[in-house]
Amino acid sequence: MKKILFFLFFCTILSAQKTETIDLSKSIRDRSNSVKTFTVIDQRPNKEIGSVMYHKDQVNIAFENSADKDLQDWFYKENKERGNKDFVLLLENIEIIEDKKEKSSIGKLKLTASTFIKKEDGYHFVYRKDTAATVSSRVTPYLAQSLSKKITLILADLIKNSYQKTPWEYGLPESELKDYAVVLKEKLNILKTDSLKDGIYKSYYSFFTHNPEPGFVIETNKKGVATRAVKGDEKISIGNCYAFVYNGVPYKIIPVGYVEIFRDEEGLFIEVKKEELFPENSSNVVFIGGGVAGLIGSIVGTIAVSAIDASAAKKRSAMAGTEVSLDHLTGHYILPENFGKTK
């Protein structure tokens, strides 16, 4: 009798657990046919992804076989022609939890993964995704399916973007991959030098490695706003750059102009308001020859002038800004929690 009851109980438990398999069907075609091999290194401390509830059933989100096999099969199925690059996808974390509310649930996904090109001297960093996503049962009852799709979309975006990016010049041994973010940070000249090189930096990588475009001199208009960089007959708009350094002071280009970049023991950061990074009506802000037009005279419009013009700087100093870090691996903003929300 006890055996029968145990069997029935075991069957009930199994029936209450279901699996949502991650559907790796989105295209990750390498249109330049540059990749020869595709390797996955799964260094996640926990290989289990997580689960959410659907009615009374627990639904686990999982790869069909294993992360490394499924992701490698995904690439080779999509890409029949080969190039000469040895591509490496490093999985650092994929985690799903469910936050149960009184009348609904929110599925929360955290995903961190990076790409490298393996060469004779080691692994060269290419790109990274360190992101989070949420899905509410108020929007869809199929939390597991939606979260599974988000995993696929994030990984596909990481892989496809990596095809076009230039690998970093620093090669890392495989033993340092687990700490690659720290190791690479220690190599960046912009975080160590006391004297910055004046000029324009067209990409985040050139900025963090402290390599301005050679020969360009920054020009300002009558209001003291940096407008462009000039080298002979060649002119580059400030608005087309990632950052620039003028009189030894670094500035980050943002949608409404530019702001000063600061440095502390953690890295680089800027002080901005949400509407400066994400203006609701960006059509009112345009760069004309690298200068800012459309908002000059308003509080936001003084941003571009603030670093050079003393009166504008005083006006903007009264604005409540928030520290936003610059990710040394991607150049992206690392937004603090509740960024831009009022209490």
Structure confidence by residue, pLDDT tens digits, 159-168: 999 998 999 9
Best CA proximity match to 321, nearest among 252, 234, 246: 252
% the chain with pLDDT above 90: 70
End-to-end CA gap in the chain: 61
What's this model's pTM, rounded to 2 decimal places? Answer: 0.82
Please, which pLDDT band fits residue 278 given cuts at 50, 70 and 90?
Answer: confident
DSSP 274-304: HHHHS-TTGGG-EEETTEEES-BTBTGGGHH
Q: How many CB atoms lie within 10 A of CB 281?
A: 8
From CA 196, how far away is CA 321, in angstroms rounded?
25
Most confidently predicted of 164-178, 276-290, 294-308, 319-333: 164-178
From CA 79, how far away is CA 86, in angstroms rounded?
14
For residues 218 and 256, the answer to whether their CB atoms sit within 8 Å is no
Most confidently predicted of 114-128, 218-232, 251-265: 114-128
From CA 316, how far away is CA 314, in angstroms rounded?
6
Mean pLDDT over each residue of the chain, to the nearest integer: 85
Q: How many CB atoms lie within 10 A of CB 226?
A: 25
Task: Average the pLDDT over 62-72 and give the result.
Answer: 97
For residues 170 and 124, the answer to whether their CB atoms sit within 8 Å is yes
> Could you give the domains of the chain?
17-183 (3.40.50), 188-334 (no CATH)
Q: Which residue has the higher pLDDT, 115 or 3?
A: 115
**Which pair of structure tokens corresponds to residue 157?**
């975006």
Q: Could you tell me the CA-to-CA distances from 191 to 29, 51, 187, 251, 326 in Å, in that order?
A: 36, 41, 9, 15, 12
Instruction: Please tell me the predicted confidence (pLDDT) of residue 317.
Output: 52
From CA 154, how far away is CA 82, in angstroms rounded?
24
- Show Cβ contacts of residue 134 under 8 Å, excluding neighbours closer than 6 positions: 106, 107, 108, 109
Structure confidence by residue, pLDDT tens digits, 182-226: 999 999 999 999 899 999 999 999 999 999 999 999 999 888 889
From CA 194, how far away is CA 12, in angstroms rounded?
66
Q: State the greatest distance between any 2 C-alpha atoms of the chain, in Å, as a whole number.
A: 93
Task: Average the pLDDT over 327-331 and give the result.
Answer: 94
